[in-house]
Amino acid sequence: MEFCPKCLSPQNMRLSTSVREQTNAEGVIKKILTKNYQCEVCHSFVRGEDIEVSGDDIGGATATNVTAN
């Protein structure tokens, strides 16, 4: 449960994830796991996280947090 800014109360969140590849300035390809949290009641976006993961670890056990939105 998290606080929903639209409902103005604590609500359950719905989690959606996606994986994308990003190339840095040196040409190294990195995989970024994005987690988005939405309110189950009003479906508004609450927050998102970008996490860098190794190529074989999409689950995020060896992940490093890149940014939090």
**Domain coordinates of the chain in residue numbers?**
2-68
- Which residues face 36 on adjacent strands? 16, 48
pTM over 0.85: no
| C-alpha of 10 from chain center | 20
| Model pLDDT for residues 12-64, shown as the tens digit of each residue | 999 999 999 999 889 889 999 999 999 999 999 999 999 999 766 555 555 55
Is residue 5 helix, strand or coil? coil
CA distance 8 to 56: 40
Backbone angles phi, psi at 42, to 5 degrees: -105, -10
**Closest Cα partner for 38 from 57, 15, 64?**
15
Confidence of residue 2 (pLDDT cuts 50, 70, 90): very high
